[in-house]
Amino acid sequence: MMVNQKFLSSSKNWHWETPPKLWNRLSMIFNFVLDAAADERNYKCKRYFNDEDDALSRDWVVDEGEQWWLNPPWGNLYTKETGRGVEDWMGHALKQYRKGYEGVLVISARMGARWFHDYCLEAPYYLFPKGRVKFIDPDTKKVGRQPTFPSVLIIYVDNLTGEQIKRLKNIGWLVSTVTLRTLVNNESSTDAFRGYGQVQYDL
């Protein structure tokens, strides 16, 4: 799908910035070399794809031992003006993982959504950060409003070291794909997620 050229000249805020504190902790755990969805205001790696690069039409090539990072653009305005939604980014991220390009992404923890079941359950690990992750306005650099949903990090990395696992557990709840598949397919597990992320942390 070709991107709608209309939105390329706009300054709409659909590239919300990853909070620096969370990013700094993650960058000490992973070897991020590519920010797959960013612009000149908020990129996290020297190498990044902006809207004009059209990340969904190319591979996110990284070498062994390196990872890409994805904080995808989202929102009703983004979908209206580009014809794209979160499912497009999730599907492409999974495609990259299947090609051998490992990475990590952050997204709303909507475990009942079809796209979550279609594209996320193949990831080796998931990390549910403690509390709600508040993203940053790329223009004002001010913290955004309280998100409606908690966030989850989808970790498309096959082999985590013991040290990586230890550090990730300090950020939140680290779950393997086997465990998560059991939870999302078990209706009685719903209560385990009720109210998740209500406690506030500085992420």
Rounded Cα distance between 197 and 129, Å, is 8
Mean pLDDT by 10 residues, the chain (203 residues): 38 72 95 94 93 94 97 80 87 97 93 89 93 77 69 95 96 84 59 47 42
pLDDT for res 89: 95
**Strand locations in 57-116 (E):** 67-70, 103-108
Residue 201, domain member (yes or no): no
Residue 5, domain member (yes or no): no
pLDDT for res 136: 77
Residue 34, domain member (yes or no): yes
Residue 126, domain member (yes or no): yes
Rounded Cα distance between 196 and 178, Å, is 20
Residue 111, domain member (yes or no): yes
Residue 1, domain member (yes or no): no
Structural domains of the chain, count: 1
Beta partners for 143? 136
**Containing domain of residue 39, as a range?**
12-193
pLDDT for res 180: 64
- Nearest partner of 11 among 139, 142, 143, judged by Cα: 139
Q: 112-117 contacts: CB < 8 A, separation 24 or more?
A: 114/87, 115/86, 115/87, 115/90, 115/91, 116/90, 116/184, 117/184
Residue 88, domain member (yes or no): yes
CATH label of the domain that carries residue 141: 3.40.50
pLDDT for res 185: 66
Residue 160, domain member (yes or no): yes
